[in-house]
Amino acid sequence: MHYGEIKNCDIANGEGVRISLFVSGCTNHCENCFQPQTWDFNYGTPFTKETEDELLCLLAPDYINGLTLLGGEQKNIWSFTGFTWEELHTPGSYPRCEVTDELLSLLDVLVDGRFVEALHDISLRFRGSSNQRIIDVRKTLASGTLTLWDEKAN
């Protein structure tokens, strides 16, 4: 796996001050993607044990709320995907693989859906277009019903 960038103290990609990892490799190719260079699976730097150690070090301070994966006191993990929750759960669908359920179970929040230029809205928090949803993964998995993230409840 390669990554394009690690952002320390990021406030644009999730709640609070976060560490954001921009992972390389995307087949969605959304119109006006803000990092099209990361579509290439080999773009950037290889993810190594040293990279993992760097991320853990950056996540250590109390003022860091958590980790955001992109393309309080409690740390949490957000992930942005170009696929919907339903696509990720449809057997045989392109984005679903043998580790999808395990990966989703490790997330707190998932921003799902492709960025759609025609639905672009700069007033939205933590997403670029109105078709994208912010899903509370823990509540969704516990209840079996898709539950949107509620900023006031968190």
Claim: this prediction has a pTM higher than 0.85: no
Average pLDDT over residues 137-152: 93
116-127 residues labelled b (16+ CB within 10 A) or e (exposed): eeeeeeeeeebb
- Residue 79, judged by CB atoms within 10 A of its CB (0-12, 13-18, 19+), counts as buried
Q: What is the pLDDT of residue 73?
A: 47
Query: Does 154 have pLDDT greater than 70?
Result: no
pLDDT in tens, 79-107: 998 999 999 999 999 999 999 999 999 99
Q: How confident is the model at residue 50 (pLDDT cuts 50, 70, 90)?
A: very high
In sequence order, the 6+-apart residues with CB closer than 8 A to the CB of 28 are 71, 82, 83, 114
HSE-up of 38 (CA within 13 Å, CB side)? Answer: 21
Mean pLDDT of the chain: 92
| Amino acid at site 110 | L
Predicted confidence at residue 72, as pLDDT, reads 41
Long-range contacts of 126-132 (CB under 8 A, 24+ apart): 126/13, 126/14, 126/15, 126/78
Question: Residue 148 carries which DSSP code?
Answer: B
Q: Report the pLDDT value the prediction gives residue 16, as an integer from 0 to 100.
A: 94
